[in-house]
Amino acid sequence: MSDFVLGALSFPALLTLIFLRVPIGLAMFLAGLVGLIIVTGDVTVPFARLKSETYTTFSNYSLSIVPMFLLMGYFATLGGMSTALFKAAESFLGHRKGGVAMAAVGACGGFGAICGSSLATAATMSRVALPELRAYGYSGGFSTATLAAGGTLGILIPPSVVLVIYAILTEQNIAKLFLAAFLPGVLAALGYVLVISIYVRVNPGAAGLRDRVPWGDRMRALVAVWPVLLVFLAVVGGIYGGLFTPTEGAAVGALGTGLIALANGGLTWSTLGESFTSTARASAMIFFIVLGAAFYNGFLALTGVPQGIAGWVVEGGFNPWIVLILILIFYLLLGCVMDSLSMILLTIPIFWPVVQELDFAFVTLAELHATRAVPVIAEIEAALAAGMAPPVEIAAEMLAEIKAALAQGAELTRDQIRALELRRVNQGAVNRINQEMVAIWFGILVLIVVEVGLITPPVGMNLFVINAMDRDTPMTATYRAVLWFVASDLIRVAILLAFPIITLVFIAI
């Protein structure tokens, strides 16, 4: 049996272990260990690799962001931020048809901005919003479906633990991935609100009404949300303002939510210890999955499976859009039976080399020339108009030729590039930019499709988390209602697939 065949067979064997309820981290570790022993014919190399792989994996500075975001979520819950978010949204929307459900979605989005976990967002907001939904006459299936779908916003709206792991696996900039996830996250929330609005009109008995809240009470509820806004602006604003790195931003967020929880009386010595313990347990679980994935992916790389699949796709001349759609469908199906983090760690090392080879050209050489040349020309013309020395000495005739070329959408000549003193504007730079944009776009698409799997019947994980909190609601009722939200998600995926600019609009060339 060749190494390639062995590597290919390891994937169904790994899935079998997972379906047999072997923990995902342990399953990947065992598959990688046994595979390396078979490939090398020796136990010395695999165990030596275990020593080096453990150090290499856990010495990655970017991984320290994970426990900080988890701790921030625990402190936010202790600080009553989830309740404040829901009460504020409910005071403005609750009197509308389906308004309490819309408020739950909005609160999920707000809590997701300081949590970063889908299941944690769903579970936390359910404890807050589910009693209110039922109290105002919302049907059980509609209530649980709304909260299950709203919980998926926790992983998409930055910060997101899964996006951090994706960034590490594909060697991308974490801050850029967070920025790219913002618009798709807002689009998701708006899509869910639209679904709620349509659902309650098609099924009038599924939602009740509550009295309009006076403006004074609305303002007081809004003021109570200031800690959430403060933490979000401090973390996100600090990262994009260049004040600190994403890892430092996560630490600032954890400190901020901790101080708020202390001020609100939710943080005591007892709850502080519980928060640290819960964070340590969750981090240990994630880190063990990361280690198992690193070991398994090292085995796959040795067998040449990722490179072989990528080469086969390129040589086969397959349509890149068809390949991408098939990958997303695979994620959608796998998302029904596996959590998002495990899927990302298991599949990205296989699919990312394939996607890298697909021909998605978001930026051309002419566009890169225009992007870099236009600011320089503007500075030159501004300096000349002010009677000052321009930053670049250039003849008027050459400047006119360059402007004419840019107006026609043409590439600049070597002499024109040299005249403007432009740097890093060759084809290699275009390839690097395109590869980064593809990585960011693909990461957001995968994240969304994975989350759709979490609410797709019959085995979506979020559905079971929410339904466990409302035993009186039959699972079939939740299934029927959540299909409306799944339809919204699939439409959103199609939109983001057809219009990558929605994801990449904030990513500078």
Domain boundaries, the chain: 80-215+437-504, 365-425
Residue 388's pLDDT band (cuts 50, 70, 90): confident
Alpha-carbon span 469 to 146, nearest angstrom:
14
Return all residues near 491 (Cβ < 8 A) that are at least 6 apart. Answer: 191
pLDDT at 496: 93
* Whether the predicted pLDDT of 277 surpasses 70: yes
pLDDT at 123: 76
pLDDT at 224: 80
On whether the CB atoms of residues 236 and 178 are closer than 8 A, the answer is: yes
Give CA angle at 438 (435, 444), nearest 5°: 140
Per-residue CA distances from 96 to 67, 89, 132, 143 (Å): 39, 12, 15, 16
- The encoded tokens of residue 386 equal 């002010």
Lowest mean pLDDT among 191-195, 263-267, 372-376, 476-480: 263-267
Mean pLDDT of 22-31: 85
pLDDT tens digits for 325-356?
999 988 888 777 777 777 888 888 888 888 88
Q: What is the DSSP secondary structure assignment for residue 8, as one 8-state letter? A: H
Alpha-carbon span 15 to 336, nearest angstrom:
13
pLDDT at 175: 84
- Dihedral sign (CA 160, 490, 96, 466): negative
Closest CA to 104 of 120, 115, 117, 88: 88
- The encoded tokens of residue 383 equal 């300096």
Average pLDDT, rounded, for the chain: 84
Q: Please, is 190 exposed, middle or buried when counting C-beta atoms within 10 Å of its C-beta (0-12, 13-18, 19+)?
A: middle
pLDDT tens digits for 466-478?
777 777 788 888 8
Return all residues near 466 (Cβ < 8 A) that are at least 6 apart. Answer: 122, 123, 126, 130, 144, 147, 148, 151, 478
* Whether the predicted pLDDT of 245 surpasses 80: yes
Residue 192's pLDDT band (cuts 50, 70, 90): very high
On whether the CB atoms of residues 89 and 106 are closer than 8 A, the answer is: yes
Closest CA to 465 of 477, 452, 447, 478: 478
User: How big is the chain by its Cα radius of gyration, in Å?
Assistant: 25
| Helices 65-78/118-135 angle, 10° precision | 20
pLDDT at 509: 60
Alpha-carbon span 197 to 218, nearest angstrom:
22
pLDDT at 492: 93
Residue 508's pLDDT band (cuts 50, 70, 90): low
Alpha-carbon span 142 to 146, nearest angstrom:
6
Alpha-carbon span 194 to 242, nearest angstrom:
36
pLDDT at 491: 93
pLDDT tens digits for 39-66?
888 788 788 888 888 888 788 777 888 8
pLDDT at 196: 93
* Whether the predicted pLDDT of 360 surpasses 70: yes
Alpha-carbon span 482 to 60, nearest angstrom:
39
